[in-house]
Amino acid sequence: MASVARRSMLASLPGLMLLRDAAAAPTKVSVGTASEGGAFVLYGGALIDALKSVEPSLEMRERMTRGTLDNVPMLERGELDIGFVFGEVVHELFSGVGGATTKLTVISVMYPTPGMFAVRADSRYRSITDLQGRPVVWNARGSGLAVQGRYVMSGMGLDVDTYFDSVYPEQLSDGPAMVIDGTASALWGGGLRWPGFVTIANNPNGVRFVVPTPEETDRILAKYDFLRRFTVPAGLYAGQSEPIQSVGSWSFILARADLDETVGYRLAAGLHRVERAGLSPRQLGQSTAKNTLAAVSSPDVLHPGVRRFYQEQGLIK
């Protein structure tokens, strides 16, 4: 009876008329995620599984990439339909930093990505200034995490390549191991339950997180108003007994410029049905229309299909 009730609930939610028009043959949608060791992979699996349960007209296919570093150029070349991108890079794309503004569009936010340093709990490092001149891992050069770290440090007036002994490994999995074995003093990472931080927290030496002070945070946000204050709830990592206040941005699902309007509509409708039916796994809990509209600079950057769905729901005019 419970399964019948759940199917009945799903059938009453928005977007089902669209499914009837397009249900004959599933539409294949390629999804650019990241390499093993990144939160994008976990999110991608949750997204694909959740949409499969409510949107069978879309055949979601994961493509493992190097994350933001690969997803943006692959989207721009039309090699991916949708892809996951760090918020700082999305800011650059829509602001035209370093070139013309992008023609990529937004499907949804993913989750907040507060940036932090992770150090071994038995180390002496308790502030960002303690890390001056020390080997710090920023992940791959040009990756979303490295770009985020550059913005946060720049907001404090620090250059990552002169203030620190910066390290840029190619593999996400290399950074946690370098902190654990003492090769590096700190690892920059972001997000909630980020796998790299989980690895360090679960090692016998434990973890300590280092973030900007309140005064440093004020300076960062005064310089970069697209960044946000985020709270990392207590207990997300082993040994983390208190909430942590830091800064960062929302990560986004972006779509290639010419993704069919109907596909964007069905993605938005599917995410909305997952939310309304209470099917959201932890990874998708923040991927809501409300959060998306709060995070974007303007509804104009939304994919046309997403914008139409939001209009039909009365969320935007």
Q: What is the pLDDT of residue 18?
A: 47
Task: Please compute the mean of the pLDDT values over residues 32-49 and round it to a whole number.
Answer: 90
CB 230 within 8 Å of CB 247: yes
Task: Please compute the mean of the pLDDT values over residues 231-251 and round it to a whole number.
Answer: 96
Task: Please compute the mean of the pLDDT values over residues 58-81 and round it to a whole number.
Answer: 96
Residue 313: pLDDT over 80: yes
Under the banding of pLDDT at 50, 70 and 90, the label for residue 309 is very high
**Which of these, 151, 83, 140, lies nearest to 113 by C-alpha position?**
151
Distance CA 59, CA 232 (A): 34
Q: What is the pLDDT of residue 208?
A: 98
Q: What would the pLDDT profile of 256-297 be if each residue is shown by its tens digit?
A: 999 999 999 999 999 999 988 776 667 899 999 999 999 999
Candidate from 19-23, 176-180, 263-267 with smallest mean pLDDT: 19-23
Under the banding of pLDDT at 50, 70 and 90, the label for residue 47 is very high
Residue 2: pLDDT over 80: no
Residue 7: pLDDT over 90: no
Distance CA 159, CA 163 (A): 6
Residue 145: pLDDT over 80: yes
Residue 106: pLDDT over 60: yes
Q: What would the pLDDT profile of 192-229 be if each residue is shown by its tens digit?
A: 899 999 999 999 999 999 999 999 999 999 999 999 99
